[in-house]
C-alpha cells in the first residue's frame, strides 16, 4: 500500500553549482581579480602595519611636527607630530570595520524586510513597500548628519546609523527576487512534494537570492565607507585622536596654506581611500558580471 517508491538518483559526474560557475567567471575577469588581491593587501596592511610599526597612532613628538616623509616617518608626520603612516593604516582599520559592519546591519534588515514583504505579498507587501518609497524620498544624508550630532560620535552610532539608512535598495532587490521565485515551477514542485514554507525559503529561496545579495552587499561596502569618510570629514564621524580616512583628509585640507604645502597630509590618506573605493567597486562590478546570468 504505502510502499515507498525508490527514486533513482543520478549524480552527474561534472555538475557545478551556479555559485561555482560564477566564481569561475569571476576568476577570468583580470581587473576584478587584480583589484581583489590589491584590496586584500590593503586590508592586511591595515591590520599588520599598526602592529609592526615602532610608532603608535596617538604618540606625539612635538619637536617633529609637519615633517616631510623620511626614513623614520615614511609618510611624514601630522600637525601634532604623530606618525602619518600608522595613522593612515589605523584609520583604514576603522574605515573597513565601519564598511563591513554597517553593510552587515543593512544586509540583515534589508534581506529580512524584503523577503518578508515579498513572501507575504498582497496588501502587506504594498504597505511595506510604500514605507520604503517614503524612506527613499528622504534626503537621508542630512538625517544621518542630524542623528550623528544628536546621538554622539561613537563607533556604534556610526555603524547603526549608516546601517539603518542603507537597507532600502537591498530590500527592494530581495523582494523582487522573492516575488519572482515564488511563482517559479521548482518552488511549486517543492510545494507539491509537501515541503513547508521554512524548507522552501531555506532550500530554494535563499540559495537563489544569494547571488544578487552578495553582489549588492559588495557594492554597499564602498558606499558606506564613503559616507563614513564624509561624516568624519565634517567632524561628525570617528573622533580624535582615533584616525579615520575622512578625518585625516579633513585635517590635511584644513592645513592647506599658501606658504607651505603639506601635500602628504592629503595625498596619503586620500590615495588609500581612492584605491580602496576603486578596488571595491571593481570587485563588485566583477561579481555582478559573474553572477548576472541574463547577460551571458
Partner 1 sequence: MWAFLIKRLAGGLLTLFVIATLCFAIIRFAPGSPFSSERKIPPEVLANIERKYGFDKDLHVQYGLRLRGYLSGDLGYSIKYERSVNELLFPSLRYSLMLGAIAFILAVTFGVALGIIAAARHNRIPDYLSMSVALTGICVPNFLLGPLLVMVFSLALSWLPVAGWPDGWSWGELSKIILPAIALSMVHIAYISRLTRAGMLDVLNKDFIRTARAKGLSEKVVFLKHVLKNGITPVVSYAGPMAAYILTGSVVVERIFNINGMGRHFVDSSLARDYDVVMGALLIYSTLVIGFNLVVDMAYSFLDPRVRLT
**Quick check: 126 binds partner 1 (CB under 8 A)?**
no
Query: Residue 73: how many CB atoms within 10 A of its CB?
Result: 21
**Quick check: 145 binds partner 1 (CB under 8 A)?**
yes
Q: Looking at residues 54 to 83 of the shown chain, list those that interact with partner 1 (rule: CB under 8 A).
A: none
**Quick check: 127 binds partner 1 (CB under 8 A)?**
no
**Quick check: 139 binds partner 1 (CB under 8 A)?**
yes
C-alpha span between 238 and 171 (Å, rounded) = 28
Contact call for residues 91 and 41 (beta carbons, < 8 A)? no
Nearer to partner 1, 104 or 230 (CB): 230
Q: In whole angstroms, how large is the CA radius of gyration of the chain?
A: 24
Among 94, 98, 105, 147, binds partner 1 (CB under 8 A): 147
CB burial of residue 275 (10 Å; 0-12, 13-18, 19+):
middle
Q: Beta strands of the chain (E only): which ranges?
A: none
State the minimum distance, in angstroms, from the CB of residue 233 to partner 1.
4
Contact call for residues 160 and 170 (beta carbons, < 8 A)? no
Contact call for residues 178 and 154 (beta carbons, < 8 A)? no
C-alpha span between 35 and 263 (Å, rounded) = 26
Among 141, 156, 189, 293, binds partner 1 (CB under 8 A): 141
Among 221, 249, 283, 290, binds partner 1 (CB under 8 A): 249
From 13-21, 148-156, 179-187, 212-220, span contacting partner 1 (CB under 8 A): 148-156
Contact call for residues 286 and 33 (beta carbons, < 8 A)? yes
From 58-66, 163-171, 203-211, 244-252, span contacting partner 1 (CB under 8 A): 244-252
Angle, CA of 73, 76 and 79, to the nearest 5°: 125
**Quick check: 138 binds partner 1 (CB under 8 A)?**
yes
**Quick check: 293 binds partner 1 (CB under 8 A)?**
no
Cell readout for 60 is 606625539
Cell readout for 197 is 514554507
Contact call for residues 45 and 275 (beta carbons, < 8 A)? no
**Quick check: 281 binds partner 1 (CB under 8 A)?**
yes
**Quick check: 137 binds partner 1 (CB under 8 A)?**
yes
**Quick check: 250 binds partner 1 (CB under 8 A)?**
yes
**Quick check: 284 binds partner 1 (CB under 8 A)?**
no
From 18-26, 39-47, 53-61, 144-152, span contacting partner 1 (CB under 8 A): 144-152
Coil, helix or strand for 239? coil
Nearer to partner 1, 59 or 133 (CB): 133
- In the complex, which residues of this chain contact partner 1 (CB under 8 A)? 134, 137-139, 141-143, 145-147, 149-151, 226, 229-230, 233-234, 236, 246, 249-250, 252-253, 256-258, 261, 263, 266, 270, 273-275, 277-278, 281
Amino acid at each position: 500500500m504505502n510502499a515507498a517508491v525508490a527514486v533513482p538518483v543520478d549524480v552527474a559526474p561534472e555538475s557545478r553549482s551556479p555559485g561555482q560557475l560564477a566564481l569561475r567567471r569571476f576568476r577570468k575577469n583580470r581587473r576584478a581579480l587584480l583589484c581583489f588581491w590589491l584590496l586584500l593587501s590593503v586590508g592586511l596592511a591595515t591590520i599588520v602595519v599598526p602592529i609592526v610599526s615602532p610608532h603608535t597612532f596617538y604618540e606625539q613628538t612635538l619637536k617633529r611636527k609637519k615633517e616631510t616623509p623620511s626614513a623614520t616617518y615614511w609618510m611624514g608626520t601630522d600637525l601634532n607630530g604623530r606618525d602619518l603612516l600608522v595613522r593612515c593604516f589605523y584609520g583604514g582599520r576603522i574605515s573597513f570595520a565601519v564598511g563591513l559592519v554597517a553593510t552587515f546591519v543593512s544586509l540583515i534588515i534589508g534581506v529580512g524586510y524584503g523577503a518578508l514583504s515579498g513572501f507575504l505579498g498582497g496588501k502587506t507587501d504594498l504597505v511595506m513597500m510604500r514605507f520604503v518609497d517614503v524612506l527613499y524620498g528622504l534626503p537621508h544624508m542630512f538625517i544621518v548628519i542630524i542623528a550623528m550630532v544628536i546621538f554622539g560620535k561613537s563607533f556604534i552610532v556610526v555603524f547603526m546609523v549608516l546601517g539603518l539608512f542603507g537597507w532600502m535598495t537591498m530590500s527592494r532587490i530581495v523582494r523582487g527576487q522573492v516575488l519572482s521565485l515564488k511563482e517559479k515551477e521548482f518552488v511549486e514542485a517543492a510545494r507539491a512534494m509537501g515541503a513547508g514554507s521554512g524548507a522552501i525559503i531555506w532550500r530554494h529561496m535563499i540559495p537563489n537570492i544569494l547571488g544578487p545579495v552578495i553582489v549588492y552587499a559588495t557594492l554597499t561596502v564602498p558606499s558606506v565607507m564613503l559616507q563614513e569618510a564624509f561624516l568624519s570629514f565634517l567632524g561628525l564621524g570617528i573622533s580624535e585622536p582615533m584616525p579615520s580616512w575622512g578625518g585625516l583628509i579633513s585635517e590635511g585640507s584644513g592645513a592647506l596654506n599658501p606658504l607651505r604645502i603639506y601635500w602628504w597630509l592629503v595625498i596619503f590618506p586620500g590615495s588609500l581611500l581612492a584605491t580602496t573605493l576603486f578596488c571595491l567597486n571593481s570587485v563588485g562590478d566583477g561579481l555582478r558580471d559573474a553572477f548576472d546570468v541574463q547577460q551571458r
